[in-house]
Amino acid sequence: DAKTTQPPSMDCAEGRAANLPCNHSTISGNEYVYWYRQIHSQGPQYIIHGLKNNETNEMASLIITEDRKSSTLILPHATLRDTAVYYCIVRVEYQGGKLIFGQGTELSVKP
């Protein structure tokens, strides 16, 4: 079973920040938080991952709470092309680790 819970859906206005929450209260000390997204009928796309420090890349920012039991993915300026299902996954960071997907959050960016 997936170790994360996410709201099933969210809306966001184009140009505004999209904040997607994720709960992972049973995360282990050696598990990272990964975020992927899946645009309709495509394979998932990697967004970002982190252990305990906040992370930022060209796509998004990841904020992890101090107790590591929850995190938030932030898309700073959402566009219509960001409409997708976003998956939060916890995983040990080593090569060959399988990903267990939860139900994800369906983000709809509206004009």
Partner 1 sequence: GAVVSQHPSWVICKSGTSVKIECRSLDFQATTMFWYRQFPKQSLMLMATSNEGSKATYEQGVEKDKFLINHASLTLSTLTVTSAHPEDSSFYICSADLNTEAFFGQGTRLTVV
Task: Tell me which residues touch partner 1 (CB under 8 A).
Answer: 2, 32, 36, 38, 41-46, 49, 87, 93-104
Q: Can you name the residues that pair with 4 across neighbouring β-strands?
A: none
Closest CB to partner 1 among residues 49, 74: 49
Instruction: Check if the beta carbon of residue 86 is closer than 8 Å to that of residue 105.
Output: yes
Give the Cβ contact number of residue 10 at 10 Å.
16
Burial of 61 (0-12, 13-18, 19+ CB in 10 A): middle
Nearest approach in angstroms of CB 35 to partner 1 is 12
Tokens of 51: 């252990």
Nearest approach in angstroms of CB 65 to partner 1 is 22
Nearest approach in angstroms of CB 46 to partner 1 is 5
Closest CB to partner 1 among residues 42, 53: 42
Closest CB to partner 1 among residues 70, 87: 87
